[in-house]
Amino acid sequence: MNPQDSSDFNRRDFLKGTSLATLMAAMGGVPLRAEDAKPAADAPKKASSPPVNCAVIGCGLRGREILNTLAVMPNAPVVAVCDHYAPFLNRAKTAAPKAEGYGDYKKLLANQAVQAVLIATPTHQHREITEAALQAGKHVYLEAPLAHSLDDARAIARAAQAALKSNFQAGLQMRSDPQRHFLLQFIRSGAAGKAVSARAQWHKKESWRRAAPSPEREQELNWRLSSATSNGLIAEVGLHQLDVLGWFLKARPVAVTGFGGVLHWSDGRDVPDTIQAVFEFPGGTLLSYDATLANSFDADYEMIYGTDSAVMIRANKAWMFKEVDSPLLGWEVYARKDEFYKETGIALVANATKIVAQGDKPVEDAPYANTSLSYALEAFISNTYVVLSGVEDFVASFNPNDTAALKEYLAGLAKSKLPAAGWPEGYEATVIAIKANEAILKKQRITFEKEWFQV
């Protein structure tokens, strides 16, 4: 196919198609997809920016997920890994064979070859490591929630704000996900009408308890199950979903009421295995959240209910469910449709829009097939390079001690960065989750106070 004829592709494909299936598909409405504007197939996949030497601190499940994601990126060599628990460190070294192993993160931070650190330790250990990493001049990707307590979260946000020469990214990976950015525009444009309520859930049947060879290690490994170290489901899981919904609604909740308890996994834990929370937004919009470790029905998704349609988001897919009296948007006539019991979901395919087909942005072979973590890490590496090259260029040309001018120069580079959560988003999401957990444990309504959000 001649790529220049791309606009003609569907029609020609249809004319060439001889099978009944093609005919049926064409008559039923052709989904608008990114394939319409595929770039030349022989175009090599290039790194989006020059390499940045990475180190991962905390090599449990999440840390190894990060390692595996970095491993397939062309510009994120992992030069060091750290975990004080030897078996985890060994597994990390298998995932990153060229990396130097450290039992002590301070020694890792002293390694000058390390430019960026990705911190995936238990939440309550974030503060000390993050502060030290920023102090050592490293760029930091910190898993969300930022911290276990408000004080720690604020200290981290302050350190990130003060570290002018470091790129800090909070692990709110959805903020880098192109599917979410597409939906953000769709929802903010008012295409679903006025949002009156929202809902999200996360259902899984699993204990969260993990086995370990010794009682000490068992306790350490299961930090999520103790309220002394964990804010439970709302913080460790819900925070990501709540952040996306608040972002879409362009609002911060004014109050939260919560409930929860240990209803199934009565193994001595004091962190609820089943929770519900209702968030009140300005103007009265309600967001209800429920999560459980005792039932897996319908897994996890987020919903926004608008006066014209409801939008359902499941991982990298989304659908719109229209009201009968809603205005015709046009494109939905041709869009793919999926049946959900008695409802018809119109697929919200990000690349179906004209903007992408015109080549304003690179078109993926399989749109948004990557995990949101991989988009977040791609943004982290790319943005880190923007900051570090910006600092290098500035220092090489001007007075390096002119911090005000450097700050202004770096701020001017913001447009060259890929979308990602910074410390303000990370801090706000963490505050909301911490307070929501407080409401859940106390079975109370808590009004969010302005000063909690001030860094």
Partner 1 sequence: MKLKTFSVPVVALLLAGSLTAQTMTRYEAQPGSKMKIEGTSTVHDWTVESGIIGGSVEVDAAFPAEPDAKAAPGKVNVRVQTALPVRSLKSGTKAMDDVMHEAMKMTAHPKIEYRLTEMTLKEPASGPVLNFETKGELTLAGATNTISMPVTVDRSEKGKLKFRGTTSVKMTSFGIKPPAPSLGLGLIRTGDDVKLTFEWKTALPAKTL
Nearest to partner 1 of 9, 259 (CB atom): 9
Yes or no: say if 122 and 228 are a contact pair by the CB < 8 Å rule.
no
Q: Which of 263, 286, 418, 455 binds partner 1 (CB under 8 A)?
A: 418
Nearest to partner 1 of 81, 379 (CB atom): 379
Closest to 273 in 3D by CA, of 257, 282, 260, 284: 260
Phi, psi torsion values for 400, nearest 5 degrees: -65, -20
Q: Which of 222, 382, 430, 437 binds partner 1 (CB under 8 A)?
A: 382
Nearest to partner 1 of 104, 360 (CB atom): 360
Q: Which of 161, 288, 371, 416 binds partner 1 (CB under 8 A)?
A: 416
Q: Shortest approach of partner 1 to residue 51 CB, angstroms?
A: 13
- The yes or no reply on residue 48 touching partner 1 (CB under 8 A) is yes
- The yes or no reply on residue 41 touching partner 1 (CB under 8 A) is no
Beta pairing partners, 13: none
Q: How far is Cα 329 from Cα 309, in angstroms, rounded to an integer?
A: 11
**Residues of this chain, 387-406, that bind partner 1 according to CB under 8 A:** 389-390, 393-394, 396-399, 402, 405-406
Burial category of 113 from C-beta neighbours within 10 Å (exposed 0-12, middle 13-18, buried 19 and up): exposed
Q: Shortest approach of partner 1 to residue 397 CB, angstroms?
A: 3
> Which range in 41-49, 150-158, 196-204, 213-221 contacts partner 1 by CB under 8 A?
41-49
Counting residues that bind partner 1 (by CB under 8 A) gives: 31
64-71 contact pairs (CB < 8 A, 24+): 64/91, 64/92, 64/95, 65/373, 66/118, 66/120, 66/373, 66/377, 67/92, 67/95, 67/96, 68/95, 69/371, 69/373, 69/374, 69/377, 70/96, 70/118, 70/377, 71/95, 71/96
Count of beta carbons in the 10 Å neighbourhood of residue 354: 9
Q: Give the DSSP H/E element, type plus range, for residue 15.
A: helix 9-16
Phi, psi torsion values for 252, nearest 5 degrees: -110, 135
Q: Shortest approach of partner 1 to residue 15 CB, angstroms?
A: 21
Tokens of 394: 């500035």
Nearest to partner 1 of 328, 396 (CB atom): 396
**Helix 86-95 crosses helix 61-71 at what angle (to 10 degrees)?**
20
SS3 category, 153: helix
> Which range in 194-202, 234-242, 364-372, 412-420 contacts partner 1 by CB under 8 A?
412-420
Phi, psi torsion values for 342, nearest 5 degrees: -100, 5
Q: How many helices, marked H, and strands, marked E, lie in the chain?
A: 15, 16
Nearest to partner 1 of 278, 421 (CB atom): 421
- The yes or no reply on residue 433 touching partner 1 (CB under 8 A) is no
Nearest to partner 1 of 132, 418 (CB atom): 418
**Residues of this chain, 349-378, that bind partner 1 according to CB under 8 A:** 359, 361-362
Q: Shortest approach of partner 1 to residue 294 CB, angstroms?
A: 45
Tokens of 384: 């880190």
> Which range in 40-48, 111-119, 154-162, 344-352 contacts partner 1 by CB under 8 A?
40-48
Nearest to partner 1 of 189, 401 (CB atom): 401
Contacts with partner 1, residue ranges (CB under 8 A): 3-4, 6, 37, 39-40, 43, 46, 48, 359, 361-362, 382, 389-390, 393-394, 396-399, 402, 405-406, 408-409, 412-413, 415-416, 418
